[in-house]
Amino acid sequence: MATCATCDETVDTATAAHKVEYQGTVYYFCCGHCQAAFEQEPARYTTEG
């Protein structure tokens, strides 16, 4: 299990349809909307932001 990188929902990593690798780390998302938000501003949702 993981937490959605944008909204903190629980995500099952084994079946997650939405994920992105960013700077060597895989981020999981509960939906396409959250993934799109992350892809527009990844620094906002990571420790570099």
pLDDT for 1-49, tens place per residue? 999 999 999 999 999 999 999 999 999 999 999 999 999 999 999 976 5
The predicted structure's pLDDT at residue 49: 52
Q: Which domain holds residue 28?
A: 2-45
Taking CA 45 as the corner, what is the angle to CA 44 and CA 47, rounded to the nearest 5 degrees? 90
Cα torsion angle, 44, 40, 9, 11, sign: negative
Q: How many domains does the chain have?
A: 1
pTM: predicted TM-score of the whole model, two decimal places: 0.89
Residues in the chain: 49
